[in-house]
Structure 1
């Protein structure tokens, strides 16, 4: 089969490899599309230590072609959207069966827009921060795949005011399509907010943005951290101050959840998929690349020129 290989010098190439065989609890998928997500940039840049050469790709849609021990053979032929630990940028990939979700008659290309971003956004709103009707929500990286979905999930949860923060005017205009009441530029945060406080803040940025976010929380507000786009330097908080103001700092790690409680991640992914299928939530695929263009796709995500979701066409 054809597969992308990331080598020890951070270069991508196409290689011919043997097709993988599913192990116990796994399925093999003939990949139609692979999603591009922030984890791909982290692997390329060495923030996720993986053996090289490495077949990248953490999201796949396609049809199940083989099952491992303990998995119903009746799933062979089923169209699925799958979350993988690696290898989605190939003609055949393996994935945990529990994280290979049946998509029914949803087009494979549409389903490729969900990936890890959909359950992440769903959980940030509904499980981690538990947005309540009437609450205000601030979303950083508003134009990304998580941000565009989080705004929609927040609206469905009954949020009263939803504000996004984006890195450029073009990205702010794009994000505004997804239900934000206002979208600020990153350079305007937090000054443009004045005294406004938020019940929930979603922060994948880290650093000074996270520190400022704590100050922008209302009493009993929750800041959910789920990444470090700007820096890996630690952000320190005084827990006594948080206690006195009823503020909470929370974290969400979908990769860890896939290892410790994959059934929970699968449930959230399934709920998100259902909301897309019935038209309540929209995924927006803004760029489609050939398998040979994975380096371009990952770099455009890394440098901030990607809006919405990018995918690779595999088959």
Structure 2
């Protein structure tokens, strides 16, 4: 089968590889579309140590083509979104059966955009932060795939005020379409907030931004950390200081959750899929790429030139580059 290989020189190439076979508790999925996400930038740039050459890709939609031991054969042919540890940028990918989620009538293109980002946003708001009715929420990277969903989940949870932070005026205009009450530019944070404090802050940035976030928590506020897109500078936290104001710092690691408690991740994903199917939240797929454009897509994501969600078209592999739209 054809697959995209991440090589030792950090470039991508299309090559022929052996088709994977599902083991016990696994399924093979014939891929239609694959989602492009921040993990792709981290793998390419060496933040996750994986042996090269390597078939990247962590989320895909398609049909189950084979099942391993312990998985009902009736699942063959099922339309699913699959959350994987690798290999989604290929004609076939293997995934845990528990994380190959039936999508019903949801279009395969939309399901690829669902990926890891939608259950992550749902977990950040409802499990890690436990947003309550009437609370205020601050969300960084507000125009990204997680940010545009987190604002919607926060609204459904009853948040009274939701503020976003983005990197440009164009991204601020884009983010505002998803329900933010106010969107700040990165250079306006934190001074542009005046004395405002927040019950919940979602932080995928780190470094200096994380230190500002800690100071912007209201009493009993929760800072939820789920990434380090701004760098890996350590941030020291005064636990006694947090205690005096009832504040909390919570982390969320979806990849670890998939490995330790996949059933919990699957339950979250099913709830998020149901909300998407009912039209209570919406995904925005802003760019679609062909296999030979993956390097461009990942670099645009790293450079902050991508709003919403980008996907890779695998169906019709030999048809050339996909048109962006």
Local SS of the residue matching 1:223: strand
Q: Once the two structures are superposed, what CA deviation does each residue of 1:105-156 show, in whole Å capped at 9, x if it has no partner?
A: 1100011111110011000000001000000000000000000000000000
Does structure 1 residue 116 correspond to structure 2 residue 108? no
- Matching residue of 1:14: 14
- Matching residue of 1:70: 70
- Structure 1 residue 237: Cα displacement: 1.1
1:191-202 superposed matches below 5 A: 191-202=191-202
**Distance across 2 between alignment mates of 1:30 and 1:60:** 9
- Matching residue of 1:285: 285
Task: Kindly report structure 1 stretches of 4+ aligned residues shifted beyond 2 Å.
Answer: none
1:1-315 superposed matches below 5 A: 1-315=1-315
Local SS of the residue matching 1:112: helix
- TM-score for the superposition, normalised by structure 2: 0.96
- Structure 1 residue 233: Cα displacement: 1.1
Local SS of the residue matching 1:4: strand
- Structure 1 residue 265: Cα displacement: 0.6
Structural RMSD (CA): 0.5
- Structure 1 residue 206: Cα displacement: 0.2
- TM-score for the superposition, normalised by structure 1: 0.99
**Distance across 2 between alignment mates of 1:2 and 1:169:** 40
What 5-or-longer segments of structure 1 have no aligned partner? none
Q: Once the two structures are superposed, what CA deviation does each residue of 1:190-213 show, in whole Å capped at 9, x if it has no partner?
A: 001111100000000000100000
Local SS of the residue matching 1:113: helix
- Structure 1 residue 242: Cα displacement: 0.5
**Distance across 2 between alignment mates of 1:143 and 1:102:** 28
**Distance across 2 between alignment mates of 1:290 and 1:7:** 18
**Distance across 1 between alignment mates of 2:24 and 2:301:** 34
What 5-or-longer segments of structure 2 have no aligned partner? 316-325
Local SS of the residue matching 2:164: strand
- Structure 1 residue 292: Cα displacement: 1.4
